[in-house]
């Protein structure tokens, strides 16, 4: 099971640096790791693939305080723990999944022409991807390499070490995402690209709160 100290020490090992005795040790490597970790490192790593251990299913009602000027008629506020969208559907069973022309995924909102959306997403919430205890071993190895890649130059000032860590990072991401996909079973795959910027269906009214309900 991953822990913050274990992850930090594995990242330091990749950099050729001695490990920390504790998370309060007064050393620059620990401060660098803290800065990266607290600066959104977990969410960044979770955005890189459709991680099953971090997947959350939601029912989201439309926000009546947001009236899109054109395009889709209903706006839905994304949960604050959203990291990546996997599936959007009108069905609680996520079948069939929405296609590209049935909804838009833009900034902090979803847009569609129905009142209720069912969304399967990767979450960085404390009960999902944000809980290191939920991580798979392969994801933990990838995350360790990601941390190392962020601090390697400041610690080593060695281009060869930085390049080696970057290469290892790519290898570990590929392996971790492939293993995670094998554990998906018969779950509904993501439908097409999630980049909706080209549709231009975005409201300028962003006030109001989300009324999201966990369903699975």
Q: Considering the entire predicted model, what is its pTM? A: 0.84
The residue behind tokens 């559907």 is 89
Structural domain total, the chain: 2
Token output for 59:
């029912």
> What 8-state DSSP symbol labels residue 20?
P
Report pLDDT for 107.
86
Claim to verify: residue 41 and residue 102 sit in the same structural domain: no
* Domain containing residue 18: 4-49+130-182
What is d(CA 23, CA 6) in angstroms, rounded to the nearest whole number? Answer: 10
Instruction: Give ∠ CA 130-47-102 in degrees, rounded to 5.
Output: 115
Helix, strand, coil shares of the chain as percentages rounded to 5? 40, 20, 45
Claim to verify: residue 105 and residue 144 sit in the same structural domain: no
Q: What is the full per-residue pLDDT of the chain (216 aa) written as tens digits?
A: 899 999 999 999 999 999 999 999 999 999 999 999 999 999 999 999 999 999 999 999 999 999 999 999 999 999 999 999 999 999 999 999 999 999 999 989 999 999 999 999 999 999 999 999 999 999 999 999 999 999 999 999 999 999 999 999 999 999 999 999 998 754 555 444 434 433 344 333 333 334 344 444
Claim to verify: residue 148 and residue 172 sit in the same structural domain: yes
Q: H or E segment at 58?
A: strand 55-61
Sign of CA dihedral 148, 150, 151, 156: positive
Claim to verify: residue 65 and residue 114 sit in the same structural domain: yes
């Amino acid at each position: 099971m991953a822990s913050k100290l274990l992850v930090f020490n594995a990242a330091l090992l990749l950099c050729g640096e001695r490990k920390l005795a504790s998370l309060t040790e007064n050393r620059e490597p620990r401060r660098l790791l803290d800065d990266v970790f607290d600066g959104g490192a977990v969410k960044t790593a979770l955005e890189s693939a459709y991680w099953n251990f971090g997947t959350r299913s939601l029912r989201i009602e439309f926000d009546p305080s947001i009236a899109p000027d054109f395009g889709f008629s209903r706006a839905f506020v994304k949960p604050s723990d959203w990291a990546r969208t996997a599936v959007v559907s009108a069905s609680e069973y996520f079948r069939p999944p929405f296609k590209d022309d049935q909804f838009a995924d833009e900034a902090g909102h979803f847009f569609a022409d129905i009142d209720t959306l069912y969304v399967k997403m990767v979450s960085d919430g404390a009960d999902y991807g944000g809980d290191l205890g939920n991580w798979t071993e392969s994801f933990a190895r990838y995350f360790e390499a990601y941390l190392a890649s962020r601090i390697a130059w400041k610690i080593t000032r060695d281009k060869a070490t930085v390049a080696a860590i970057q290469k290892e990072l790519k290898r570990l991401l590929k392996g971790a995402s492939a293993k995670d996909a094998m554990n998906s079973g018969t779950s509904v795959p993501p439908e097409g690209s999630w980049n909706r910027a080209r549709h231009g269906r975005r409201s300028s009214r962003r006030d109001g709160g989300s009324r999201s309900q966990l369903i699975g």
